[in-house]
Amino acid sequence: MNDALSTPTMVTSGKTAREIFEEVRANPARARFGFGERIAIVNVDPQNSYTRPDLFPKTAYITDPCQIEHINGISNAARAKGLPVVWTHVAYMDSAADAGVWGTRTDTPDSLQNIKFGSERHQFDERAEIDETVDAIYTKRMPSAFFETPLQSLLVWHKVDTVVITGGSTSGCIRATAVDSLSRGYRTIVPIECVADKHESYHFANLTDLALKYADVVDVAEVYEAIEACHS
């Protein structure tokens, strides 16, 4: 066999996921998608099950202590400009049949499929500043906020070209939503302070992958600037 085809080429490293992410982020040659003309804020699952470790220590997580504050800030700024703001949360029917195969790996009180409609786990974090008169609120059942929700239709109606994704987890629903967003032709933005995960390895490894392939991973300050630049 040709040696060139039998020798592994995968790069190995003793660096942490955080260190690798910071190197990627600092690369001046890294191209960006940039912001377009019409922004939507998509807040993925800021619900008690994932944001309140005081209530649900096995499933919730905090990365940036000001995450909810930042999510509220950019959502309020977008709303003031007449831009769409979307909130999703996860819940399942009592039988968990709508969780499908995703709900079959475990069955404990903390398992995904046991987030039931109307439960405390299903409720949005009380700190989230949701305006039910204008914001879109969707229940989703799978990782991506696009999967079997009206999100795509909403974005088309509002002539959105840029999707800003917040929430959690970085390695799960954020990544899935970002991949679907890019796949649908949207400029996709992930503000670092607005996403979180259970472990820094998963968090930073996925931020690296997002930055290299699917999204612009930026400081939240850039999102404020881009919203301000949008026409009402």
Residues taking part in catalysis: 173
Distance CA 225, CA 78 (A): 11
Our measurement of the distance from residue 12's CA atom to the centroid of its chain's CA atoms, rounded to an integer in Å, reads 28
**Cis omega (within 30 of 0) for bond into 75:** no
DSSP string for residues in the chain: --GGGTS------SS-HHHHHHHHHH-TT-------S-EEEEEE--BHHHH-TTT-TTT---SSTTHHHHHHHHHHHHHHTT--EEEEEE-B-TT-GGGGGGG-S--STTSGGG-BTTSTTTSBPTT----TTTSEEEEESSSSTTTTSSHHHHHHHTT--EEEEEEE-IIIIIHHHHHHHHHTT-EEEEEGGGEE-SSHHHHHHHHHHIIIII-EEE-HHHHHHHHHHS--
CB 195 within 8 A of CB 45: no
